[in-house]
Structures are given as structure tokens and as C-alpha cells.
Amino acid sequence: MTIRKSTAMIAAITMLAVGACAKKAPETLPPVPEGTGTDTGTDTGTGVIPGSQEDFIASVGAMGDRIFFGFDQYNVDSEDMATLQTQSQWLQRNPAVRVTLEGHADERGTRDYNIALGERRANAAKNYLASLGVDPSRISVISYGKERPAEIGSTEEAYARNRRAVTVIIGR
């Protein structure tokens, strides 16, 4: 029993590690800026216009505007949920703001399929935001497929950063 249990645990840990490796952007993301996020939606005194893209990034963090996906995947996992919850708090404080959810794929897919895959990813993010109470009519969706990589390169690290859904503020 003990042996079987520990084998199962090792397997589970391995799966977690592999899963994380396959899905997430690398750990070297820029640190979240501290002290710039305000929760009031009012002028921060830093010249940032409330409800702007700048304000959004200041609130959610430099990479807080996006969630990442595994290869050919479009499910929103717990880490993504946390990111989207932070976004939804800002969106609910700025109820007049409209956003576009951009879905993207890495370059290791065919063009048309990747547009469809980017649609899936953007809609997965949109649906989760809607489940948190963000009015879906505020959210438009566009897929860029593999047309607009965020990270240039043909490495697994670059692919992981490019399989993404990005929330972009488009105004009020």
C-alpha cells in the first residue's frame, strides 16, 4: 500500500510538473509593479487616466492582462481564474469600459485552425469574466491566430507566451 501510494503521489507530482511546463509561460515574468495599482478608479496622482489601458495594467500587473494556454488547449485553469478575477474587479470598478479579448496561438499550427483556436481561447476568457459578473456585451472578441506573436522565436518558451488570451481596453 505504502509503495503504491507513493508511486501514485510521484506520478501526480510529475503530471503537475509536466502540466505546468507544457502550459505556463516561464517563471521569468516581469514582477508585478507595486504601489501603482489603486482600487478606487480615481486619479492616482501619477498621471494615469482612470479606466485607461495604463490604469488597467497598473492595477492587474504587467502580465495580468493575459492568461496562457497549453498546446492546442483552451481551458481556463485555476491560475487563469485568479488572473481573470483580478481583471474582473477592475472591470467592475470601471463599468463603462469596454474591452476586446484577443485570442492567440503559437506558430506550430496551421493558419485557419489557429484562428479558430484563438477564438476558443478568447471566448473561454470572456465566458469566465461573464461568470464573474462582467456584462458580456462589454467584451468583444477577436482571434489573431498565429499572426501576432508576443514573443518572437521558435522555442517552447516563446510558444508558451504566445498561446494567450489578452484583455485590451478599447475605451468607454
8 Å CB contact between 66 and 164: yes
Q: Which of 69, 74, 90, 128 binds another protein (CB under 8 A)?
A: 74
Which of 143, 159, 164, 167 forms a contact with another protein (CB under 8 A)? 143
Q: CB 4: neighbour CB atoms within 10 A?
A: 8
The region of 13-21, 36-44, 88-96, 141-149 touching another protein under the rule CB under 8 A is: 141-149
Encode 135-170 in three state secondary structure: CHHHEEEEEEECCCCCCCCCCHHHHHHHCEEEEEEE
What does DSSP assign to residue 65?
Answer: T
* Residue 148 sits in the site that holds another protein (CB under 8 A): yes
Considering the complex, what minimum distance in angstroms separates the CB of residue 121 from another protein? 8
Which position among 76, 122, 129, 160 is part of the footprint of another protein (CB under 8 A)? 122
Instruction: Locate all alpha helices (DSSP H) within 32-98, ordered by sequence.
Output: 53-60, 78-93
Give contact residues for another protein (rule: CB under 8 A). Answer: 72, 74, 100, 107-113, 115-117, 119-124, 127, 141-144, 147-150, 152-154
